[in-house]
Amino acid sequence: MLSTSPGGHVSIDFAGAGGGARRQQSWWRRWKQLSRLQRSLLLFIIIFLLICGISSCPAINQLAAQADTVGETDALILPPMLEPVKQVDPPWLEQTSQRRLSNKGGAAVLASRLHAEGNASDRANPNPNPDPNPNRPEGEAAGRQLDGPTEGVTSWWGAEMDAGRVRGGTEDGDHEDPHVHQEEEPSQDSASRQEAVRDAFRHAWKGYKAFAWGHDELQPLSKSYSEWFGLGLTIIDALDTMWILELREEFEEARRWVATELSFNRNVDVNLFESTIRILGGLLSTYHLTGDPLFLSKAEDMGSRLMPAFNTPSKIPYSDVNIGRGTAHPPHWTSDSTVAEVTSIQLEFRELSRLTQQPQYQAAVAQVMERVHVLEGKLDGLVPMFINTNSGQFTHQGVYTLGARADSYYEYLLKQWIQGGRKEDQLLEDYLQAIEGVKKNLLQRSSPTGLTFVGELSHGQFSPKMDHLVCFLPGVLALGAHNGLPADHMDLAKELMKTCYQMYVQMETGLSPEIVHFNMYEGSSRDMDVKLADRHNLLRPETVESLFYLYRLTKDPVYQDWGFQILQNFNKYAKVPSGGYTSINNVRDPEFPSPRDKMESFFLGETLKYLYLLFSEDPNLISLDRYVFNTEAHPLPIWTSAE
């Protein structure tokens, strides 16, 4: 409609527009009427509100995502680790070429400490089910004291214990995770399981005898052998295993070889540590079990040929010895030795001195322990990995681990103390301090299920890395508790034993990798990850070793069940039809675990021996009150008070 204003202007009124144009014009007129300051303030407020709105969008999305996953998070009782395992038999290659693998690698002080801290002889714990709470808060600081409940125990001084039953790391009523590798519940009795170990040994021996007799190690896939020292390492390492397993025919053929073929008068370099724990330890052990002087004579010959290693400025021994020429030297790339190597030969040299009445052997290794005892560079009893043979000082300080290059130092502190009749207070003090250092600096729990593990410390930074080698620790802790050390050592042993078992059961093959990295952060879907380079399994003994100690000292059959599962998986994924067992490259691939064509001597010397002892119901079969095992599973006698 057209209209004329009093001033002669024409205005246009658009019917049906709802007055929108006039309102828009009115708002604009009002805006123009504002001062510049007022307009600036309004613009600032509008922009501020827009920014706040935009920034709130991610938070809204996150809340929505959390709401969607509440059910999933609440269901995390056991780790949803893997897809269901395919039950397949691995196809073996005709021949696999692989590079050489790395190798293993009533004292007054005691009375006062145990009086102050309380020992297992004085404690009876009312809770028989020490399963960790899967819903405990995560992210606790590394090294805190574990405060979980302990199992009912009246005494660790040689008494049998009424241990609680814990199956697969869960309490009764917990849900089994279908994604974790599961075996059928073993039903075989102990005798049949021991016979299964004998069968495994016979099969391994069959391959060694057919394709590698007299040589160091079998390559079962290529039906060949590899040499390290050229001293028939597998035969010597397996002597006492055959005796303990009552394989008399195999033992006699091995003894004939030792009597007629074994000679140490050879121009060959040997590693001091490896030749001590495998050859010297194996010969001494077999002598004690059989009483045959042949083995003591060979042991004394070998021991005397290793002595040049101690001719260093610091008396810290060189790593390598030429047993034919009588010379010794460090590795070509360094003048350092590893701490584990120089502090894990004492049991054998001490015993050699006792048997031969020649004090020089014990004196040489005692100097090493005395030197390490006073060295600076320790952290709460934890030692670095390297020590210089010239200066006698720790090198590469700041890195602390219970894995490779340091592991058996801690083991031999306790075992020397036991071997000597629990009289050497300095060894005990160093051991107890080191265990406290582990608790303070290296102990942590994983997420989501709270597995207790031992990590590493590098220049103040904690790493959740744990070697399979560290699985020796549960057994050592249990052995210490059996000898009167604090009861919480046994509690920790049981916690770590579950973790080591989970390192097997959470892999698709049911076999542990060499190294795992644990997750520590809330929201993790699995407790452990495995890097590609760490997925190999070398048929190592540490887990079954600790299972043996835990079963022998608690009589809880769950440890036997776990060990039998491991044996079954060795048979499934590592057994070579023509004879022998092989290390594998990939524990995460059950269809093709990628065999490495190598059977380490410790598979016969340690792994199968500990499995056999694990399944034994006779506590006097290598009694822990009469023998102490060296780090290669060769039992040596505990000295009586008269010795």
- Residue set of the binding site: 631
* Start-to-end Cα distance in the chain: 127
Active-site residue (options: 177, 300, 407, 424): 407
Would you tell me the crossing angle of helices 473-482 and 542-554 to the nearest 10 degrees?
Answer: 30
Active-site residue (options: 138, 216, 274, 561): 274
Angle CA 84–88–92, to nearest 5 = 140
Residue 537's closest CA among 520, 515, 568? Answer: 515
Active-site residue (options: 240, 491, 514, 600): 514
Longest dimension (CA), the chain: 137
The string of DSSP letters for 363-391 reads: HHHHHHHHHHHH-S--BTTB--SEEETTT
User: Which two tokens mark 612?
Assistant: 């056999």
Q: Which residues contact residue 31 at a Cβ distance below 8 angstroms, ignoring those fewer than 6 apart? A: 39
Q: Cα separation of 265 and 261, whole Å?
A: 11
Under DSSP, the state recorded for 470 is G
- Strand order of the β-sheet with 269-271 is 269-271, 320-322, 327-329
Instruction: Indicate if 514 belongs to the active site.
Output: yes
Residue 159's closest CA among 208, 116, 123? Answer: 123
Q: Cα separation of 568 and 584, whole Å?
A: 15
Instruction: Indicate if 407 belongs to the active site.
Output: yes
Active-site residue (options: 542, 561, 600, 632): 542
Residue 120's closest CA among 627, 429, 483? Answer: 483
User: Which two tokens mark 157?
Assistant: 């001084």
* b/e per residue 57-73 (b: at least 16 CB within 10 A): eeeeeeeeeeeeeeeee
Q: Cα separation of 31 and 33, whole Å?
A: 5
Alpha helices in 357-487 (DSSP H): 360-374, 407-419, 425-441, 473-482
User: Which two tokens mark 99?
Assistant: 């590079």
- DSSP E strands in 440-530: the ranges are 443-445, 452-454, 456-458, 461-463, 465-467, 515-518, 528-529
| 489 neighbors 414 (Cβ within 8 angstroms) | no
Residue 493's closest CA among 442, 548, 550? Answer: 550
Q: What is the phi/psi pair of residue 545, to 5°?
A: -60, -50
- Strand order of the β-sheet with 456-458 is 399-400, 456-458, 461-463
Q: Cα separation of 130 and 520, whole Å?
A: 21
Binding residues for Ca(2+): 631
- Residue 71 CB-half CA count within 13 A: 1
Residue 446's closest CA among 510, 495, 504, 507? Answer: 495
Enumerate the β-bridge partners of residue 453. 444
Q: Which residues contact residue 535 at a Cβ distance below 8 angstroms, ignoring those fewer than 6 apart? A: 513, 514, 585, 586, 587, 588
Active site residues: 274, 407, 514, 542
